[in-house]
Every structure is written in structure tokens, then in C-alpha cells.
Structure 1
Amino acid sequence: MTSSPVQGDPVRLLVVDDSPSIRAVIRAMVEGDAGIRIVGEAGTGGEAVEMARTLRPGVILMDVQMPEMDGIEATGRIMAAVAVPIIAFSAFTWGGEAKASIEMLAAGALDVMAKPELGWAGAVSDCSRVLRKKIRSASRVAVVRRLRGAVPMARGRGEPAGPSDGARFEVLGVGASTGGPTALRELFSGLPADFPLPILVVQHITMGFTAGFVEWLRQHTPLDVRVANEEDRAVPGSILIAPEGRQLEALPGGSVRATSRKPRGVHLPSVDTLLSSLASAYGPKCIGALLTGMGSDGAEGLLDIRRAGGFTLAQDEETCVVFGMPLEAARRGAVDRSMPPAAMAELLRRITERSACREEGGRA
């Protein structure tokens, strides 16, 4: 496990990009900041893996597309060897590179951001402020080694306990932040194409990457994944992702809306807003799940669902990239069950199958 830098010590940054000009821009973006020190530069993924071992940086800023070894492969190797917080630095927020950036997140990168337009000084200045903030934030996260190809397994004996036999549910709401793409993949890949509940999702992700995230997620689940429209419907077998810069809210009767309403906290979209709206619209007929992430977004919303009589799940500490949001929810008494995302999928299948059997029996 990595350790956070000592208070006052600069963050040791390793810069990885095959373009010397981009590396020069990055140097200019962080120079003069006493809180960040570049300790090395690499031009290939292979060099990055070796320098991560020898230099032990506090954070790595890494390009996505590189010759010989790309950022996805390098991230996987680094996370298996030394576990350093990695930020993916992408040239595009659309197309193949956007999906590759999400693959880097799935391989273990903490965050992603777009490279600035070099011909526009204002863009570089804005990007510099955001980049320095992301570097500092990443340096405070203790990440763990990921054995390549390993899939987190449920712990404990027997099947995970669920709600009472009489419970019937109509919707599932899910919130995630840092580490969320991998957790969502593990959750949704375990659900069948005929999963009977509509699913609403808020995933904190850098502006510009939501479309790429949706395209990537479609490859890992039989369910229909798309970004929610301003006025939409929650239908079985669908996953609606909150659009960038908009709140995702559920209304009675299966209606969904994406609004510009201010969040309860600092996030837009906000997990709290989504989960609280589900509690109001569905009461005891909703399930809420809170996955890995920094901060506390979603903790109050999950508590609202539990108070309304719904069923609540949180990702367990062992499989979280950052055990922040689930921990805050547990501290507030908002969590019915904690488990890995794959175990959540198993439990959700059992809950919905049991409910379907009861309904068929009632019609017989």
C-alpha cells in the first residue's frame, strides 16, 4: 500500500508521455508550485513501469496512447507491482481514446483528465489549475496492489442475506466515484439481460468522458446502457447514466428527469440527489447501492432510502479503491448489507427472482 506524503513535503510526480512537447507543457503547468516536484519523465509505458519501481513517485500522470506499451498495459503492471496513484492524461474525450481512458480507470488509474488545447493559453491555464488539484487529491489516496486478472470474491459463508421475503422492488439506484467504473462493471456484468428493475446511476467522472464511459460499459453488460435524457422513463433492463453537469432525479410513476438543480453537496451530478429522489418516489420499493469513492456523496441519500423502508447496499472495504462514501454511509446507519459488487449482483438476482416467483404464484 502507498503512503500519503508527509504534510509539507511536495508530491513526487512521474510524468509519462511519448511527446517531448507535452512533457514540456506539463513541466510548465506545475513549475512554481512548491507542493509538486517532478522526479522523472518517461516516454513509453515500459519506461514508466521501471521508473515507478525505482523512483517510487507519489503520483503518476500518464498518457493513454503510447508506442510499445500503452497506458492501459502500463497501469496494470504498475498497480500489480508497486501501487501508485495514477491519473490518465487523455488527448481526446471522444472515440477510441476516450474508451481507452476508461480502460485505464478499470486497470487501476484513479482519475482521468483531458489534455489542454495547446494553441489556447486560457485552456492551458485552466487545465493547470485542475491538474494541480487532481495531483494533490490523488496523492492523499492510499491505493493497494492489484494482482493482474484477479477478480474480488465475496467473503463469508453461504449466500448474502437479503431483505424480507415479502419485499417487492421496482427500481435500483447506484452511486460511485473513484474506482467506480470497475465496480460498476463487476456489478452489471453479473445481471441478466432480463433483469426486471430499471437502474439509475450517478458516476463521478471528469467532464467530457461520460460518453466514452457509457460506450465502454456497454461492452460489459447485456443491459441497455445510455445517458439519460432531460425527460426520460425508467424501464426494466435499462441503465440510465446521469448526464454531465445535470442532476438525475426519479419521479413517481417511472418518470426520470435530468435537471440543472443545484446539488446538496459539491457534486453535479450528485448521488445524494438521485438516491433521495428514489426514496421520495418509490419509498420501500427501491434499492440503493453505494460503491467505492472519496468523500460522503450518497451517504445521506442512502439513509433516506433506508428510512423510507427500502433496501440498501454498500461496497465492502476490501474491494473498494477508496473506502470513503460507503464508510460514511455505514457511519450514519444507512447500510443494510456490505459486500463486493459481484456479490451484490448475485443478491439482486435472487431478490428479483424470488419476487417474480411470488407474483406468478399469486396469479395461479
Structure 2
Amino acid sequence: MRVLVVEDSLVVRILLTHIIARDPRLELAGALESGEAALAAIETLRPDVISMDIRLPGIDGLETTRRIMATRPTPIVVIADSVEDSSLKISMNALRAGALSVVEKPVATTNDGYEAVAGEICTQLRIMAAVPVIRRRPIGSEWGARRAAPAFEPLASPEPDTAPSVLAVAASTGGPPALAKVIGGLTAEFPLPVLLVQHMGAAFMDGFASWLDGVVPLSVSVARDGQSMLAGHVYVAPGDRHLELGPGGLLRVSDGAPVGGQRPAATVLFRSVARHAGPQGIGVLLTGMGEDGAQGLLDMRKSGGATVAEHESSAVVYGMPAAAVRLNAAARVLPLEQVAPHLVRLAQRKPS
């Protein structure tokens, strides 16, 4: 897998080339110092994946990402400084523009966290190199070669008619723009609290919540243990912590063991909603690699809750939703643009 490194800092550029050289599955296609240089060389270098710095001189990483996705779509992994608010905001907007994931910048080899950061960078580059991307896509209309989505998939059973009390949503790869689309389609008067799991490096979760708060009408914050839920508020699972709905509608945040290799895990969230909300819960599983959330969504459906999986036609990575569909865990299978209107309809149900 050929990797193009775009990084203006010579020190970080050298660190990244050393990190890539350690992995026999990765090959360095080039190491460039600017977005302009990357745009000029991409057709010649033809990388399988790009490591993209976000704070570049001249054309920054966000604009470089946009132009690459418009001219020669290539999987992009954003390499960002997790402690700078401005860098975090640009990083999240780069994900919305077509980048697939964001990871922490490497630090000096003598730093205690170097090995973990280096390993995560290699893992993300390998995984994302295999993700098919297309020319800058409007969300919901990409993947034109895939099976077209019907207005609604046939139901194996009728949906519950119980008035809902909570909405749980989960996503992984491709999640930030999908969540911006879905939650952005809910009005500020949305009558339910929203619990959210997004797979992302722990260092970026506060920045992700802050970014999402700025692009959707609902109030978004990182969840706290013991917190009471409020309607029209979004509670994001903290980095490297599970988020659960507890007894009495209180939130639980824990460092329990990873489930399916994930913490936070969508399945942990969905199962807690199945236990404590039953038919009053709504579960939504969006784009993502792997199978996290599928078993939990099935538990929600068995408990009488309303369940939704994103349709293949719009998912950036049709992994997690596909696993839910295989299990018959989703009562509805919808393209992204239809999810928010469906949630609004469900939220308006009255007690039977």
C-alpha cells in the first residue's frame, strides 16, 4: 500500500516516514511539505492512501482534501494535533469534506506515547487504504454503482406504537459527516435526548463534540457519569469510555472492558437502551467498518424498540449496518437522507 505523506514540519515528516518504513505492508510513495506540492504530484505518485497534515502553509489540509476528493479521490487519514482547538475544528471539517479518519500526530521517539501513536497511524493507513472512495460526493448520493435504495425496505414486523423516550445513534468510519446530516436534520425542539457513540481516538472526542455542536441545531456535549438526560440534547460517549443508559434515565460512563474490540462500543449503548427503555427506545446504526452495534441493535428490536440501519447506497463503509441487516436487527434500512425525517416521525408518536 503506497502512502503519500503531506506534512510541513520536517521533524514530523521524518517521524512519519520512519513509522511507515517499520510496517512491511506500507510503502512510502512520497513525503511532501505542502498542499500545493501534493496536488501537483498526486497523479504521478498515485498513492493508495494519504497522510494529511491539517495545518499547512498556503493551501491548508482542509482545502487540499477538498481538491483531492474533487480531482483524484484517494483515502485520506488526517494527522492532527489533538490539543489545538483550531486544528481540531479543521480536522472535523476535513472529515466532512471526505477524509476518512483522524489520528494524533507522532511525537518524539523518546515520548512515552510514541509506540501507541505510531501503531495507530499504521493501522489507520492500512485500513483506510482499502476503503473505496469516489469523486467528491454529496452525502447520500455516493456509491452510484450500488443497489439503489427503495423509499423503505419491507418490514418483517410492524414498528412499535409506544411513545419513545430516547434515541441512540452509533457510527464509525465515515461517521462525522453522516452524523452531521442525521442530527442536523432534527430541529432544536426535537423531543428526545440523543445518546451517541462515534469510534474515534480518545484525544479527539472533546473536539468532535464541540465541532458537532457547531453544525447541528441540538446542543451537543460529552456525556458525564450520573448525568440526567434532557430532550433536544446530544450526549457523546467520551474517548475510550462506554456510554450506557442506566436506571432512572441517568447516564453511565464506564471503563469496562472493550466489546468487539471497541470502547466505546455501540453494542454496549444499544443493549443498555434495550434494558432500560425497551419499546420506548430508538436505535440507529450508521456507516462504519466491522460489526459493532449489530448485536445491540438486535437486542433493541427484540425489546420492542424502533431500529434503523443505514442503506448500502449511502454508507461510506457498509460494514456495521450490513451486519445489522444480516441479523434482521433493523426494522428500517434507509439511505442517509431519509433517516432524520423518519426519526422525526417516530419521535412524534403519542402514547397508545
TM above 0.5: yes
Name which of structure 1's ranges 311-320 and 22-31 shifts more when overlaid on structure 2: 22-31
Partner of residue 127, structure 1: 117
**Distance between the aligned counterparts of 1:32 and 1:212, measured in 2?**
30
Partner of residue 4, structure 1: none
The answer to whether residue 337 in structure 2 is matched with residue 347 in structure 1 is: no
Partner of residue 130, structure 2: 140
Give the gaps of 5 or more residues in structure 1: 1-10
Partner of residue 62, structure 1: 52
Offset of residue 232 of structure 1: 1.1
> C-alpha deviations, 1:43-65, integer Å up to 9, x for none?
21122223223322111001001
Partner of residue 224, structure 1: 219
The answer to whether residue 303 in structure 2 is matched with residue 313 in structure 1 is: no
> C-alpha deviations, 1:193-227, integer Å up to 9, x for none?
11001110010001200011011101111211111
Partner of residue 17, structure 1: 7
**Distance between the aligned counterparts of 1:32 and 1:187, measured in 2?**
40
* TM-score between the two structures when normalised by the length of structure 1: 0.89
**Distance between the aligned counterparts of 2:292 and 2:150, measured in 1?**
31
Question: What is the 5 A alignment of 1:129-168?
Answer: 129-147=119-137, 150-152=138-140, 164=159, 166-168=161-163
Aligned-partner SS, 1:289:
strand
Offset of residue 158 of structure 1: 6.4
Name which of structure 1's ranges 108-117 and 181-190 shifts more when overlaid on structure 2: 108-117
**Distance between the aligned counterparts of 2:153 and 2:229, measured in 1?**
27
Counterpart of 1:188, as a letter, is I
Name which of structure 1's ranges 44-53 and 245-254 shifts more when overlaid on structure 2: 44-53
Contact 1:173 1:289 in 2 (8 A): yes
**Distance between the aligned counterparts of 2:200 and 2:166, measured in 1?**
23
Aligned-partner SS, 2:86:
helix
**Distance between the aligned counterparts of 2:149 and 2:256, measured in 1?**
42
Contact 1:178 1:292 in 2 (8 A): yes
Partner of residue 169, structure 1: 164
Name which of structure 1's ranges 262-271 and 320-329 shifts more when overlaid on structure 2: 262-271
Structure 1 stretches (4+) deviating beyond 4 angstroms? 153-165
Contact 1:61 1:89 in 2 (8 A): yes
The answer to whether residue 180 in structure 2 is matched with residue 185 in structure 1 is: yes
**Distance between the aligned counterparts of 1:15 and 1:117, measured in 2?**
16
Name which of structure 1's ranges 259-268 and 200-209 shifts more when overlaid on structure 2: 259-268
Aligned-partner SS, 1:60:
strand
Counterpart of 2:3, as a letter, is L
The answer to whether residue 23 in structure 2 is matched with residue 28 in structure 1 is: no
Partner of residue 72, structure 1: 62
**Distance between the aligned counterparts of 1:70 and 1:238, measured in 2?**
33
The answer to whether residue 208 in structure 2 is matched with residue 213 in structure 1 is: yes
Aligned residues: 345
Contact 2:70 2:135 in 1 (8 A): yes
Partner of residue 49, structure 1: 39
Offset of residue 182 of structure 1: 0.3
> C-alpha deviations, 1:168-208, integer Å up to 9, x for none?
21111001000100000000111011100111001000120
**Distance between the aligned counterparts of 1:32 and 1:266, measured in 2?**
24
Aligned-partner SS, 1:329:
helix
Q: Percent identity?
A: 38
Check 1:159–1:317 CA distance in 2 against 1; reply closer, same or farther (3 A cut).
closer
> C-alpha deviations, 1:22-55, integer Å up to 9, x for none?
2112112222432211111222112222322332
Counterpart of 2:130, as a letter, is R
